[in-house]
Amino acid sequence: MLVLVINCGSSSVKYNLIDTSDERNLCKGLVERIGAVTSIVKHEPEGQRHTKSTRTIANHSEALQEIMSYLLDPDNQIIESPSDIKAVGHRVVHGGEMFKDSVLIDDDVTKAIEQAFDLAPLHNPPNLRGIQAAQKNLPDIPHVAVFDTAFHHSLPNKAFLYGIPNRLYRRYKIRKYGFHGTSHYFVSRQYYKETGEKAQDTKVITCHLGNGASIAAVDGGKSVDTSMGFTPLSGLVMGTRSGDIDPSILFYLIEKEELTLANVHALLNRHSGLLGVSGYASDMRDLIEEADNGDRRCQQAIDLFCYKIKQYIGSYIATMNGCDAIIFTAGIGENAPLIRQESLAGMDYLGIEVDEEKNTNAERGTVQKISTDSSKTDVYVIPTNEELVIAIDTAKIAQAADQSPWV
């Protein structure tokens, strides 16, 4: 089944056209800087020339029109008619407590995504705008929402409750939700597939290290804890996000610097993390390069990043009472041997040994085992594919909807 996967940010639309029958990505692309004078449009058809151009794209609906006209252009030979696309899968960041699984989008689902605006003000509003734009452009096929939070619905109470009055959980649903669920799900499944291990018998720790970063403890195939929380701000130090900090720092700063709520939000989400600590960049490639040139603050940012990863891994080994495999994925996890090495250095007490040569030479874009043969815990690099998870879920739900109006 041909599924169009859509991932909308506030000024961007990312798309993938995936054939779920052979899991092939036929085309992917990105419309960026929507609403600006010059928007950037990239299309990357499989096995054909990639294109990049600029034009004015006023809103998400125009971005969808641009994507459809590219896919339908006879010169590009991707699809012949809009009806070749059988369903659209949408990445939705926050499903709140309501959505434990992917769902067919109807008016009730749209309302529930809207109700979760408060919980993810940066993500859910553009996600919904993308849904509405895609529904306008492709009105006659099923649209499915796939939630970043869904995989973490299996967290037990002790992992998702915060130490605040329970009434606040009941009234406002303040709890840990966790994010990057499709990625943690995908790489853990790839690990079972690759090794033949049975999900129910294994404990794995999945490290999704990209601009946003999170770690999950997956026991018996289910997420039992994860580093992100009520929002994607907590946990690890990230590109521009602070990760965990003592909440009292906020009271202190609000008073000392006379910060507004908006200032605090921007400080922790956009000016902190690797960027804030290094005072130089949020991009790990730049930090590694400058640290190599002797920049002390870039080195401090890298050290802090790896230290937090090590702390989370250690705590999840403790809470799961063991770990069969640690998996690295996403931009940094897949491409930065230095970060993998540093994060796991000095963990021989727990029996974790990275093979330096395998780690350094790990071929990109493929599943690689990078631990020594004597390591008690295996260490893997596994490329993530969140879009494929969304496409497969979407195809399943679209097929079911085709057979029954009650899906």
Compare residues 142 and 243 and give the one whose CB is closer to ligand AMP. Answer: 243
Question: 390 and 146 in contact (C-beta within 8 Å)?
Answer: yes
Compare residues 105 and 207 and give the one whose CB is closer to ligand AMP. Answer: 207
The owner of tokens 């649903």 is: 173
Which is it for the CA torsion 379, 385, 390, 395, positive or negative?
Answer: negative
Question: CB of residue 295 vs ligand AMP: minimum separation in angstroms?
Answer: 16
The order of strands in the sheet holding 39-45 is 51-55, 39-45, 24-32, 12-19, 2-9, 87-92, 143-147, 103-104
Cα 126 versus chain centre, distance: 16
Instruction: Pick the stretch among 192-200, 216-224, 252-260, 278-286 that binds ligand AMP (CB under 6 A).
Output: 278-286
Which of 239, 241, 354, 362 is in the footprint of ligand AMP by CB under 6 A? Answer: 239
Task: Decide: is 237 part of the binding site for ligand AMP (CB under 6 A).
Answer: no
Which of 45, 126, 178, 331 is in the footprint of ligand AMP by CB under 6 A? Answer: 331
Interatomic CA distance for residues 322 and 313, integer angstroms: 10
Question: CB of residue 261 vs ligand AMP: minimum separation in angstroms?
Answer: 27
Instruction: Pick the stretch among 120-128, 305-313, 329-337, 394-402 that binds ligand AMP (CB under 6 A).
Output: 329-337
Task: Decide: is 284 part of the binding site for ligand AMP (CB under 6 A).
Answer: yes
Question: CB of residue 384 vs ligand AMP: minimum separation in angstroms?
Answer: 8
Residues near 321 by beta carbon (within 8 Å), at least 6 away in sequence: 203
Which of 131, 150, 317, 332 is in the footprint of ligand AMP by CB under 6 A? Answer: 332
Could you give the string, one character per residue 78-117, with x where binding to ligand AMP holds by CB under 6 A and - elsewhere?
----------------------------------------
Compare residues 154 and 278 and give the one whose CB is closer to ligand AMP. Answer: 278
3-state DSSP assignment of residue 21 = coil
396 residue type, one letter = K
Among this protein's residues, is 148 annotated catalytic? Answer: yes
Number of shown-chain residues binding ligand AMP (CB under 6 A): 12
Instruction: Pick the stretch among 117-125, 168-176, 259-267, 283-291 that binds ligand AMP (CB under 6 A).
Output: 283-291
Binding to ligand AMP, residues 335-394 (CB under 6 A)? 335-336
Which is it for the CA torsion 143, 91, 27, 51, positive or negative?
Answer: positive
Q: Which helix (H) or strand (E) holds 285?
A: helix 284-292
Which of 55, 193, 285, 376 is in the footprint of ligand AMP by CB under 6 A? Answer: 285
Residues near 71 by beta carbon (within 8 Å), at least 6 away in sequence: 17, 27, 78, 79, 85
Question: CB of residue 268 vs ligand AMP: minimum separation in angstroms?
Answer: 18
Question: 18 and 25 in contact (C-beta within 8 Å)?
Answer: yes
Question: CB of residue 399 vs ligand AMP: minimum separation in angstroms?
Answer: 30
3-state DSSP assignment of residue 108 = helix
Question: 163 and 150 in contact (C-beta within 8 Å)?
Answer: no
* DSSP track, 46-105: TTS--EEEEE---SHHHHHHHHHHHHH-GGG-S-SSGGG--EEEEEES--TTT-SS-EE-
Question: CB of residue 370 vs ligand AMP: minimum separation in angstroms?
Answer: 15
The owner of tokens 């029954």 is: 404
Interatomic CA distance for residues 210 and 338, integer angstroms: 14
Question: CB of residue 333 vs ligand AMP: minimum separation in angstroms?
Answer: 8
Binding to ligand AMP, residues 182-211 (CB under 6 A)? 210-211
Compare residues 105 and 237 and give the one whose CB is closer to ligand AMP. Answer: 237
Interatomic CA distance for residues 384 and 365, integer angstroms: 9
Task: Decide: is 275 part of the binding site for ligand AMP (CB under 6 A).
Answer: no
Task: Decide: is 235 part of the binding site for ligand AMP (CB under 6 A).
Answer: no
Question: 210 and 232 in contact (C-beta within 8 Å)?
Answer: no
Binding to ligand AMP, residues 245-274 (CB under 6 A)? none
Could you give the string, one character per residue 211-230, with x where binding to ligand AMP holds by CB under 6 A and - elsewhere?
x-------------------
Question: CB of residue 181 vs ligand AMP: minimum separation in angstroms?
Answer: 15
Of residues 101, 118, 148, 324, which has the active-site annotation? 148
- The 10 Å Cβ neighbour count of residue 183 is 25
- Residues known to be catalytic: 148
Which residues of this protein are in contact with ligand AMP, per CB under 6 A? 210-211, 239, 283-285, 288, 330-332, 335-336
